[in-house]
Structure 1
Amino acid sequence: MQLSGKPYNYQMDALLLTPTFTFHIEVKNYTGTLWFDDPFDQMIRTNEETEEGFRNPIHQVVRHREKLLPLIPGPLASCIVINRSSTILKSLNAKKRNTDIPIIHRHNLLHHFKALEEQFSSAPVFRKKNERRRYVSSLN
Protein backbone atom coordinates (compact mmCIF):
# COMPACT_ATOMS: atom_id res chain seq x y z
CA MET A 1 0.00 0.00 0.00
CA GLN A 2 1.30 3.47 -0.81
CA LEU A 3 0.17 6.73 0.79
CA SER A 4 1.01 10.16 -0.51
CA GLY A 5 2.68 12.54 1.88
CA LYS A 6 4.97 15.51 2.13
CA PRO A 7 7.86 15.45 1.58
CA TYR A 8 7.78 11.70 0.77
CA ASN A 9 5.36 8.97 -0.22
CA TYR A 10 4.96 6.10 2.22
CA GLN A 11 4.89 2.48 1.14
CA MET A 12 3.67 -0.12 3.61
CA ASP A 13 4.16 -3.87 3.24
CA ALA A 14 0.79 -5.01 4.62
CA LEU A 15 -2.32 -3.45 6.10
CA LEU A 16 -4.98 -5.81 7.41
CA LEU A 17 -8.44 -4.52 8.30
CA THR A 18 -10.30 -6.64 10.83
CA PRO A 19 -13.71 -5.97 12.34
CA THR A 20 -12.07 -4.69 15.56
CA PHE A 21 -8.67 -3.20 14.64
CA THR A 22 -6.26 -2.41 11.81
CA PHE A 23 -2.98 -4.33 11.67
CA HIS A 24 0.06 -2.75 9.99
CA ILE A 25 2.94 -5.12 9.18
CA GLU A 26 6.41 -4.18 7.96
CA VAL A 27 8.51 -7.07 6.66
CA LYS A 28 12.31 -7.00 6.74
CA ASN A 29 14.58 -9.48 4.93
CA TYR A 30 17.79 -9.05 6.92
CA THR A 31 20.27 -11.88 7.42
CA GLY A 32 22.83 -12.46 10.16
CA THR A 33 22.47 -11.08 13.67
CA LEU A 34 20.50 -7.87 14.25
CA TRP A 35 21.45 -5.79 17.26
CA PHE A 36 18.96 -3.10 18.35
CA ASP A 37 20.75 -0.20 20.01
CA ASP A 38 18.15 2.09 21.62
CA PRO A 39 20.44 4.78 23.11
CA PHE A 40 21.99 5.44 19.69
CA ASP A 41 18.74 4.71 17.88
CA GLN A 42 20.19 2.32 15.34
CA MET A 43 20.18 -1.27 14.21
CA ILE A 44 23.49 -3.05 13.65
CA ARG A 45 23.78 -6.14 11.51
CA THR A 46 26.69 -8.54 11.91
CA ASN A 47 27.06 -11.08 9.14
CA GLU A 48 30.11 -13.32 9.33
CA GLU A 49 32.88 -10.73 9.89
CA THR A 50 31.02 -7.71 8.50
CA GLU A 51 29.26 -5.12 10.66
CA GLU A 52 26.81 -2.59 9.17
CA GLY A 53 24.67 0.15 10.68
CA PHE A 54 21.07 0.78 9.59
CA ARG A 55 18.27 3.08 10.57
CA ASN A 56 16.16 1.62 13.29
CA PRO A 57 13.13 0.10 11.46
CA ILE A 58 10.89 1.24 14.30
CA HIS A 59 11.15 4.80 12.96
CA GLN A 60 9.69 3.72 9.63
CA VAL A 61 6.74 2.12 11.40
CA VAL A 62 6.24 5.18 13.62
CA ARG A 63 6.12 7.41 10.50
CA HIS A 64 3.60 5.08 8.89
CA ARG A 65 1.47 5.07 12.03
CA GLU A 66 1.44 8.88 12.07
CA LYS A 67 0.10 8.83 8.50
CA LEU A 68 -2.43 6.07 9.17
CA LEU A 69 -3.94 7.16 12.48
CA PRO A 70 -5.97 10.08 11.05
CA LEU A 71 -7.29 7.81 8.27
CA ILE A 72 -8.42 4.71 10.10
CA PRO A 73 -11.29 4.12 12.47
CA GLY A 74 -10.54 2.27 15.68
CA PRO A 75 -7.28 0.92 17.10
CA LEU A 76 -4.08 0.44 15.11
CA ALA A 77 -1.53 -2.28 15.90
CA SER A 78 1.85 -2.51 14.19
CA CYS A 79 4.75 -4.92 14.12
CA ILE A 80 8.00 -5.56 12.31
CA VAL A 81 8.36 -9.07 10.93
CA ILE A 82 11.80 -10.50 10.24
CA ASN A 83 11.27 -12.81 7.28
CA ARG A 84 14.27 -15.11 7.74
CA SER A 85 13.96 -17.49 10.66
CA SER A 86 17.75 -17.88 10.74
CA THR A 87 18.20 -14.17 11.57
CA ILE A 88 19.14 -13.70 15.22
CA LEU A 89 17.58 -10.79 17.12
CA LYS A 90 19.48 -9.21 20.02
CA SER A 91 19.34 -6.05 22.09
CA LEU A 92 22.39 -4.10 23.18
CA ASN A 93 20.45 -2.79 26.16
CA ALA A 94 19.53 -4.74 29.25
CA LYS A 95 16.37 -2.70 29.66
CA LYS A 96 13.22 -3.51 27.73
CA ARG A 97 12.82 -1.61 24.47
CA ASN A 98 10.82 1.57 24.90
CA THR A 99 8.27 0.94 22.16
CA ASP A 100 4.96 -0.79 21.68
CA ILE A 101 6.05 -2.00 18.23
CA PRO A 102 7.23 -5.60 18.52
CA ILE A 103 9.93 -7.10 16.31
CA ILE A 104 9.14 -10.75 15.66
CA HIS A 105 10.12 -13.60 13.38
CA ARG A 106 7.58 -14.57 10.72
CA HIS A 107 6.77 -17.88 12.43
CA ASN A 108 5.41 -15.86 15.39
CA LEU A 109 3.11 -13.69 13.28
CA LEU A 110 -0.02 -15.83 13.63
CA HIS A 111 0.43 -16.08 17.41
CA HIS A 112 0.91 -12.30 17.62
CA PHE A 113 -2.18 -11.69 15.46
CA LYS A 114 -4.33 -13.97 17.64
CA ALA A 115 -3.17 -12.12 20.76
CA LEU A 116 -4.17 -8.82 19.12
CA GLU A 117 -7.57 -10.25 18.17
CA GLU A 118 -8.13 -11.14 21.80
CA GLN A 119 -6.90 -7.75 22.99
CA PHE A 120 -9.20 -5.82 20.65
CA SER A 121 -12.18 -8.21 20.70
CA SER A 122 -14.59 -5.98 22.60
CA ALA A 123 -15.96 -3.46 20.08
CA PRO A 124 -16.17 -4.00 16.33
CA VAL A 125 -15.05 -1.04 14.24
CA PHE A 126 -16.85 -2.32 11.15
CA ARG A 127 -20.24 -3.83 11.97
CA LYS A 128 -21.04 -4.83 8.37
CA LYS A 129 -18.93 -5.94 5.42
CA ASN A 130 -20.18 -2.98 3.36
CA GLU A 131 -18.73 -0.53 5.90
CA ARG A 132 -15.29 -2.10 5.54
CA ARG A 133 -15.59 -2.13 1.72
CA ARG A 134 -16.55 1.59 1.65
CA TYR A 135 -13.65 2.42 3.94
CA VAL A 136 -11.12 0.55 1.78
CA SER A 137 -12.48 2.30 -1.34
CA SER A 138 -12.03 5.68 0.33
CA LEU A 139 -8.29 5.02 0.79
CA ASN A 140 -7.66 4.89 -2.96
Structure 2
Amino acid sequence: MIVKQHDKLIEVLKLEALESRIALYHPKKERVVTDLKKKKSEIAGEKEVDYPLGFLDYDKFFILHNIRLEDDNGYFQIDTLVLFEKYNLILEVKNWQGTVIFDANGQVIRKRTNEEEEGFPNPIPQVKTQTFRLQKWLRKHNFPEVEIESFVVISFPSTIIKPAHSSVTIPEQVIHNSQLYFKIMELEKKY
Protein backbone atom coordinates (compact mmCIF):
# COMPACT_ATOMS: atom_id res chain seq x y z
CA MET A 1 0.00 0.00 0.00
CA ILE A 2 1.34 3.43 -0.90
CA VAL A 3 1.14 5.53 2.25
CA LYS A 4 3.04 8.58 1.01
CA GLN A 5 3.02 9.53 -2.67
CA HIS A 6 5.75 11.30 -4.62
CA ASP A 7 5.63 14.98 -3.66
CA LYS A 8 8.22 16.70 -5.84
CA LEU A 9 5.63 18.02 -8.29
CA ILE A 10 5.20 21.23 -6.27
CA GLU A 11 8.94 21.89 -6.72
CA VAL A 12 8.54 21.50 -10.49
CA LEU A 13 5.58 23.87 -10.53
CA LYS A 14 7.56 26.48 -8.59
CA LEU A 15 10.54 26.17 -10.92
CA GLU A 16 8.29 26.37 -13.99
CA ALA A 17 6.68 29.53 -12.64
CA LEU A 18 10.09 31.04 -11.89
CA GLU A 19 11.51 30.00 -15.27
CA SER A 20 8.63 31.63 -17.16
CA ARG A 21 8.99 34.90 -15.22
CA ILE A 22 12.76 35.33 -15.04
CA ALA A 23 14.29 37.48 -17.78
CA LEU A 24 16.39 35.77 -20.47
CA TYR A 25 19.45 37.83 -19.58
CA HIS A 26 19.16 37.29 -15.82
CA PRO A 27 22.35 35.71 -14.36
CA LYS A 28 20.31 32.94 -12.64
CA LYS A 29 18.23 31.99 -15.72
CA GLU A 30 20.52 29.13 -16.76
CA ARG A 31 20.57 27.69 -13.24
CA VAL A 32 16.77 27.77 -12.99
CA VAL A 33 16.45 25.98 -16.35
CA THR A 34 19.03 23.38 -15.27
CA ASP A 35 17.31 22.83 -11.91
CA LEU A 36 13.95 22.42 -13.64
CA LYS A 37 15.31 19.78 -16.04
CA LYS A 38 17.01 17.96 -13.16
CA LYS A 39 13.86 17.95 -11.02
CA LYS A 40 11.72 16.66 -13.91
CA SER A 41 14.27 13.93 -14.53
CA GLU A 42 14.26 12.99 -10.81
CA ILE A 43 10.48 12.65 -10.86
CA ALA A 44 10.55 10.52 -14.01
CA GLY A 45 13.23 8.28 -12.50
CA GLU A 46 11.46 7.86 -9.17
CA LYS A 47 8.17 7.03 -10.89
CA GLU A 48 9.94 4.28 -12.86
CA VAL A 49 10.39 2.47 -9.52
CA ASP A 50 6.61 2.36 -9.07
CA TYR A 51 6.29 -0.17 -11.89
CA PRO A 52 8.22 -3.09 -10.30
CA LEU A 53 6.78 -2.25 -6.88
CA GLY A 54 3.33 -2.63 -8.44
CA PHE A 55 3.90 -6.39 -8.78
CA LEU A 56 4.19 -6.84 -5.02
CA ASP A 57 1.28 -7.86 -2.82
CA TYR A 58 0.07 -4.49 -1.49
CA ASP A 59 -1.26 -6.15 1.69
CA LYS A 60 2.27 -7.05 2.83
CA PHE A 61 4.06 -3.70 2.88
CA PHE A 62 3.83 0.09 3.01
CA ILE A 63 5.56 2.47 0.59
CA LEU A 64 6.68 5.94 1.64
CA HIS A 65 8.14 8.18 -1.07
CA ASN A 66 10.36 11.21 -0.43
CA ILE A 67 10.74 10.82 3.32
CA ARG A 68 12.48 13.64 5.19
CA LEU A 69 13.33 12.87 8.81
CA GLU A 70 15.10 14.89 11.46
CA ASP A 71 17.77 13.50 13.75
CA ASP A 72 20.54 14.96 15.92
CA ASN A 73 22.54 15.89 12.79
CA GLY A 74 19.73 17.74 11.00
CA TYR A 75 17.53 16.32 8.27
CA PHE A 76 18.05 13.34 6.00
CA GLN A 77 16.05 12.28 2.99
CA ILE A 78 15.12 8.86 1.60
CA ASP A 79 13.75 8.55 -1.95
CA THR A 80 11.59 5.50 -1.20
CA LEU A 81 11.20 3.53 2.01
CA VAL A 82 9.36 0.21 1.83
CA LEU A 83 8.22 -1.18 5.17
CA PHE A 84 7.81 -4.94 5.36
CA GLU A 85 6.91 -6.92 8.47
CA LYS A 86 10.43 -8.24 9.09
CA TYR A 87 12.63 -5.63 7.44
CA ASN A 88 12.70 -2.16 5.90
CA LEU A 89 14.05 -1.40 2.44
CA ILE A 90 15.66 1.89 1.41
CA LEU A 91 15.61 2.61 -2.32
CA GLU A 92 17.95 5.35 -3.47
CA VAL A 93 16.84 6.11 -7.02
CA LYS A 94 19.39 7.42 -9.50
CA ASN A 95 18.11 8.78 -12.76
CA TRP A 96 21.47 8.49 -14.49
CA GLN A 97 21.42 8.03 -18.25
CA GLY A 98 24.21 7.04 -20.60
CA THR A 99 27.08 4.95 -19.28
CA VAL A 100 27.80 4.89 -15.55
CA ILE A 101 31.32 3.82 -14.61
CA PHE A 102 32.31 2.82 -11.07
CA ASP A 103 35.88 3.91 -10.32
CA ALA A 104 38.30 2.30 -7.84
CA ASN A 105 38.49 5.49 -5.70
CA GLY A 106 34.78 5.46 -4.98
CA GLN A 107 33.70 7.89 -7.65
CA VAL A 108 31.03 7.35 -10.26
CA ILE A 109 31.56 8.79 -13.73
CA ARG A 110 28.70 9.27 -16.15
CA LYS A 111 29.36 9.47 -19.87
CA ARG A 112 26.65 10.71 -22.15
CA THR A 113 26.40 10.18 -25.89
CA ASN A 114 28.35 13.38 -26.58
CA GLU A 115 31.28 11.90 -24.55
CA GLU A 116 30.80 14.55 -21.87
CA GLU A 117 31.90 13.17 -18.50
CA GLU A 118 30.34 14.09 -15.17
CA GLY A 119 31.49 12.89 -11.76
CA PHE A 120 29.23 11.82 -8.92
CA PRO A 121 29.98 10.49 -5.44
CA ASN A 122 29.54 6.77 -5.02
CA PRO A 123 25.93 6.20 -3.82
CA ILE A 124 26.86 3.26 -1.56
CA PRO A 125 28.14 5.47 1.31
CA GLN A 126 24.96 7.53 0.87
CA VAL A 127 22.67 4.54 1.47
CA LYS A 128 24.88 3.30 4.31
CA THR A 129 24.52 6.70 5.98
CA GLN A 130 20.74 6.67 5.38
CA THR A 131 20.57 3.19 6.92
CA PHE A 132 22.57 4.26 9.98
CA ARG A 133 20.50 7.42 10.49
CA LEU A 134 17.20 5.58 9.99
CA GLN A 135 18.22 2.93 12.56
CA LYS A 136 19.06 5.67 15.06
CA TRP A 137 15.80 7.51 14.29
CA LEU A 138 13.73 4.32 14.78
CA ARG A 139 15.46 3.57 18.10
CA LYS A 140 14.95 7.13 19.32
CA HIS A 141 11.22 6.87 18.56
CA ASN A 142 10.92 3.44 20.26
CA PHE A 143 10.22 1.39 17.15
CA PRO A 144 11.11 -2.31 17.33
CA GLU A 145 14.49 -3.34 15.90
CA VAL A 146 14.27 -4.53 12.31
CA GLU A 147 16.86 -5.15 9.65
CA ILE A 148 17.30 -2.44 7.04
CA GLU A 149 18.28 -3.38 3.50
CA SER A 150 19.06 -0.96 0.70
CA PHE A 151 19.42 -0.76 -3.07
CA VAL A 152 20.67 1.94 -5.38
CA VAL A 153 18.22 1.68 -8.25
CA ILE A 154 19.27 2.95 -11.66
CA SER A 155 15.86 3.91 -12.98
CA PHE A 156 16.45 3.88 -16.73
CA PRO A 157 16.97 0.42 -18.25
CA SER A 158 19.06 1.81 -21.12
CA THR A 159 21.75 3.00 -18.71
CA ILE A 160 24.93 0.94 -18.98
CA ILE A 161 26.60 0.17 -15.65
CA LYS A 162 30.22 -0.93 -15.80
CA PRO A 163 33.47 -0.91 -13.80
CA ALA A 164 36.32 1.43 -14.74
CA HIS A 165 38.58 -1.64 -15.18
CA SER A 166 38.50 -5.35 -14.45
CA SER A 167 39.81 -5.04 -10.89
CA VAL A 168 36.82 -2.89 -9.85
CA THR A 169 33.56 -4.59 -8.91
CA ILE A 170 30.18 -2.93 -9.09
CA PRO A 171 28.52 -3.11 -5.65
CA GLU A 172 25.75 -5.74 -5.40
CA GLN A 173 23.39 -3.07 -4.08
CA VAL A 174 23.50 -1.22 -7.42
CA ILE A 175 20.76 -2.61 -9.65
CA HIS A 176 18.70 -1.67 -12.66
CA ASN A 177 15.04 -0.90 -12.11
CA SER A 178 14.11 -4.10 -13.96
CA GLN A 179 15.88 -6.18 -11.26
CA LEU A 180 14.08 -4.58 -8.32
CA TYR A 181 11.12 -6.97 -8.07
CA PHE A 182 13.38 -10.03 -8.21
CA LYS A 183 15.79 -8.62 -5.62
CA ILE A 184 12.85 -7.97 -3.29
CA MET A 185 11.69 -11.57 -3.82
CA GLU A 186 15.17 -12.72 -2.74
CA LEU A 187 14.85 -10.58 0.41
CA GLU A 188 11.41 -12.04 1.08
CA LYS A 189 12.94 -15.54 1.06
CA LYS A 190 15.78 -14.38 3.30
CA TYR A 191 13.40 -12.94 5.91
Q: TM-score, normalised by structure 2?
A: 0.57
What one-letter code is carried by the residue in structure 2 that aligns with 1:119? Answer: K
Per the alignment, residue 87 of structure 1 pairs with: 159
- Tell me what 2:112 maps to: 47
> Which residue does 2:148 correspond to in 1?
76
Quote the Cα distance in structure 2 between the aligned partners of 1:6 and 1:110: 34
Out of 54, 60, 72, the residue aligned to residue 126 of structure 2 is: 60
The aligned length equals: 118
RMSD, aligned α-carbons: 1.9
Q: Which has the higher contact order (CA 8 A, sep 6+)?
A: 1
Q: Structure 1's 65 and 97: CA in aligned 2 closer, same or farther, altered over 3 A?
A: farther
Structure 1 residues 83 and 98: CA distance shift in structure 2, 3 A: closer
Shift of 1:91: 1.1
CA 1:8–1:91 in structure 2 vs 1: closer, same or farther (change >3 Å)? farther
Stretches of 4+ aligned residues off by more than 3 angstroms = 5-8, 95-99
Unaligned stretches of 5+ in structure 1? 121-140
- Residue 45 of structure 1: how far off its partner (Å): 0.4
Is contact 2:88-2:148 (8 Å) kept?
yes
Secondary structure (helix, strand or coil) at the match of 2:85 reads coil
Residue identity opposite 1:82 in structure 2: I
8 Å CA contact 2:102, 2:168 repeated in 1: no
What does 1:21-32 correspond to in 2, within 5 Å? 21-32=87-98
For 1:103 and 1:16, the matched residues in 2 are separated by 17
Give the CA deviation at 1:97. 3.8
Structure having the larger proportion of residues in helix: 2
Once residues 9 and 43 of structure 1 are traced to their aligned partners in structure 2, the CA distance between those partners, rounded to angstroms, is 25
Structure 2: gaps of 5 or more residues: 1-66
User: Are residues 64 and 33 of structure 1, via their aligned partners in 2, closer, same or farther at CA, if it must alter by over 3 Å?
Assistant: same
Distance in 1 (CA, whole Å) between partners of 2:188 and 2:85 is 10
- Matched residue, 1:109: 180
Return the offset for 1:52: 1.1
* TM-score normalised by the chain length of structure 1: 0.76
> Sequence identity of aligned pairs in percent?
34
